[in-house]
Structure 1
Amino acid sequence: MLFVICVTTAVVCAVAAAVLSRWMRSVAASDSRWLRSGLHVALAAAGGFGAPYVALGMVDLATFAVLAVACALLVTIDLAVFRLPDAIVLPLYPVVFLGLTVTAAEFGEWASLGRAAAGAAMLLAGYFLLALINPSGLGLGDVKLAGVLGAFLGWLGWPAVLVGTVAAFVINAAVALVLLAARRVGPKSGIAFGPAMVAGAVVGAAYAAVRSAAVL
């Protein structure tokens, strides 16, 4: 039954991403090959497939599915134009917190909701500080996305926040080293950090899912 739900959610997310393709290119104000590659459809499907593993009910499943599609668009746009548009990031705040609030009321997960709010605040503050210290390495788009991902990971638990945050920086460093070794970028070249942030959140969520399954 879980597998059927995973496949169904993956298909729905993939279709949603495909439908939003033209809008994505409009928001990015670009016709980059990244935006026409279909990467966002594949990423949305992958996120949709994994969403049921960390969902308690239909409301948070729908919330995580929306987040999966949005992150798929953001990763693709960031790779194309090195931006994380407010038009996608900012609406995620009310969507995510409304979904988590309804789920908290349904399942009595008020502690998880509080942890989600704390996780969002902590990552927002932490990324904002890093952006002030190194503005060439992190942009305000990264800071805003950090709050959304912090809420998602915080809902899943503090270990997920820690693992997801550390994984983002490790993944980004590994990608930078590979690109430098391949001479695709120079020492002062910019590298999109959004994809690493989303990948780190996936690692954190996977860790939370495995940890929860081990406890059960």
Structure 2
Amino acid sequence: MYSLLIVAAALYGAVAGVLVPRARYRLAVEPEEEWRDAGPCGHAVGRWVGPARCAVCGGRYGPGALWPAVVTAVVCGGLAMAVGVRPELAVWLAVTPVCVVLAVVDWSVRRLPDVLTAPLAVGAAGLLGVAALIPGAAGSWPRALLGGLALGGGYLVLHLLHPAGMGFGDVKLAVGLGCLLGWYGWWVLTLGAFAGLLLGSLYGTGLLLSRRAAVMPLGPFMIIGAWLGVLGGGYWTG
């Protein structure tokens, strides 16, 4: 049963990952630009989910779906392995594709779209509230809400102290990730937040050492840190 759960979660992740590239293409634009509604060929893109390939002429307008499918499958399979058959696993699986899109968009154009960060925060809070009502849940919904406020507040302070180094999109992303991390406890919140900042700092140090002048995307590292925190929380509370 446990093995089947892991396989099922990985398959779900693979399918979800195949649907990520189109959203990435549409959202990966500069802040002053509108979301893309047409491919380079001029044909309408249409829906938000699906492969980055034109349905009319078959032309590709973005990266392929292989690596998003692999990454999402590994993330979902790892979550199922750590959490097991518990209600909150459905929440982690639901938010994973959103987090993957946010990570790749931020990496591409250094932007975390409100169209995803706001639903992530609201959706995480609401879904965890439902999960808390189901027998077998291993977390706390009030603590999840406080976690969102705490991590979002912490990033807001960092943003106000150094707005050039941390965008407001990172603050809004922190609210949703804080809800996910706070579910399992304050130590998980601390672990996930510290891991994200540490990974981001290491990457930034690498850029400095290589003398590559670039604006660093923090979102992907925040998301990886949150995933590591939830993995730890799911494993140790199981």
Structure 1, unaligned stretches of length 5 or more? none
Counterpart selection for 1:57 from 73, 79, 86: 86
Deviates more, 1:35-44 or 1:63-72: 35-44
> TM-score, structure 2 length as denominator?
0.78
Q: 2:95 aligns with which of 35, 49, 67?
A: 67
Distance 2:174 2:100 in 1: 15
Instruction: Tell me the CA shift for residue 103 of structure 1.
Output: 1.3
Residue 227 (structure 2) pairs with residue 202 (structure 1) = yes
Q: Shift in Å at residue 157 of structure 1?
A: 1.2
8 Å Cα contact 2:20-2:97 kept in structure 1: no
Match of 2:216 in 1: 191
Residues 17-26 or 64-73, more deviating: 17-26
Which residue of 2 is the match for residue 28 of structure 1?
A: 28
Using the TM superposition, give the Cα deviation of residue 99 of structure 1 relative to its aligned residue in structure 2, in angstroms. Answer: 1.6
**d(CA) in 1 for partners of 2:117 and 2:17?**
15
One-letter code of the match for 1:54?
A: V
Residue 14 of structure 1: aligned partner: 14
Deviations 1:105-153 (A, max 9, x none): 1128697001100000001111111111111111111111101110000
AA at the equivalent of 1:57: R
1:158 to partner: Cα distance: 1.0
More helix by share: 1
What stretches of structure 2 of length at least 5 have no aligned partner? 30-35, 41-61
> How well do the aligned residues superpose, as a CA RMSD in angstroms?
2.5
Are 1:27 and 1:87, in contact at CA under 8 Å, matched by a contact in 2? no
Q: Deviations over 1:25-58 (max 9, x none)?
A: 1122389xxx515443332212211222236535
Paired residues in the alignment total 208
The answer to whether residue 222 in structure 2 is matched with residue 180 in structure 1 is no
Distance 2:132 2:221 in 1: 29
Q: Provide the secondary structure at the position in 2 that maps to 1:107.
A: coil
Q: Percent identity?
A: 31
* Residues 38-117 of structure 1 aligned to structure 2 (within 5 Å): 38=65, 39-52=67-80, 53-54=82-83, 57-58=86-87, 60-107=88-135, 112-117=140-145
Residues 165, 197 of structure 1: 8 Å contact kept:
yes
Measured in 2, the distance between the counterparts of 1:86 and 1:42 equals 26
Max radius of gyration: which structure?
2
SS in 1 for 2:131: helix
The partner residue of 2:199 within 154, 171, 189 is 171
Post-superposition shift, 1:93?
2.4
| Aligned partner of 2:178 among 150, 161, 177 | 150
Instruction: Write the distance in 1 (CA, Å) between the matches of 2:237 and 2:187.
Output: 11
CA contact (8 A) 1:120 1:150 kept: yes
TM-score scaled by structure 1? Answer: 0.86
Alignment-derived partner of residue 4 in structure 1:
4
Find the counterpart in structure 2 of residue 123 from structure 1: 151
